[in-house]
């Protein structure tokens, strides 16, 4: 009878601990975990399987250390755009000079005389406009531009600052 009593008590204790473990937070290096798995300190994963499909997800940490998935990690930091304009382009990109650094990464053109006509020079630049956005301006010298295709890349200012050493004005 006593054995049956202890067996029943042990069974109830195991069920209680299991139920408690399923609903509680677990902390490593903290007595007060605030998430289901809360690590206070450095974390190390000794073996990470190689990515094997396009369905992999990038994990990022916010300022308080909460781990989340990045919806589209590259677009969050880098944007590539192509613009088409005529003679003397003044293209409003819509990208904030505070949040983004604008770069011209390529261009091609066609003139009223055909693309074989070589201009005497060209000016093409990204400029911080008075409205706080990047504008692309320029001209091909001595020809009338039928169109200009301009490829631009925009990099988040926070990333650009990590890539550049020294003092740089990012259009602000």
Segment among 5-14, 96-105, 114-123 with least mean pLDDT: 5-14
Q: What is the largest CA-CA distance in the chain?
A: 107
pLDDT at 151: 92
pLDDT at 126: 92
Using the predicted structure, report yes or no on whether residue 34 has a pLDDT greater than 70: yes
Using the predicted structure, report yes or no on whether residue 172 has a pLDDT greater than 70: no
> Model pTM?
0.53
pLDDT at 20: 46
Stronger pLDDT, 166 or 96, i.e. the higher one: 96
Residues 58-82: tens digit of each pLDDT = 677 777 878 877 666 666 788 899 9
Residue 88, CA distances (Å) to 84, 94, 107, 133 in order: 12, 19, 14, 18
- Percentage of the chain with pLDDT > 70? 67
Average pLDDT, integer, range 102-112? 83
| pLDDT confidence tier of residue 116, bands split at 50, 70 and 90 | low
Average pLDDT, the chain: 75
């Amino acid at each position: 009878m006593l054995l049956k009593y202890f067996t029943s008590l042990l069974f109830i204790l195991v069920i209680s601990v299991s139920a408690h473990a399923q609903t509680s937070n677990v902390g490593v290096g903290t007595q007060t975990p605030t998430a289901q798995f809360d690590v206070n300190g450095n974390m190390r994963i000794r073996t990470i399987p190689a990515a094997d499909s396009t369905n992999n997800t990038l994990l990022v940490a916010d300022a308080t250390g909460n781990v989340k998935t990045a919806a589209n990690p590259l677009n969050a930091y880098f944007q590539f755009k192509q613009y088409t304009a005529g003679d003397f382009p003044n293209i409003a990109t819509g990208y904030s000079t505070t949040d983004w650094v604008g770069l011209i990464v390529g261009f091609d053109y066609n003139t009223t005389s055909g693309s074989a006509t070589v201009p005497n020079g060209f000016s093409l630049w990204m400029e911080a406009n008075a409205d706080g956005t990047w504008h692309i301006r320029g001209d091909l010298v001595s020809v009338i531009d039928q169109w200009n295709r301009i490829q631009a890349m925009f990099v988040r200012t926070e990333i650009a600052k990590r890539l550049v050493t020294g003092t740089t004005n990012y259009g602000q």
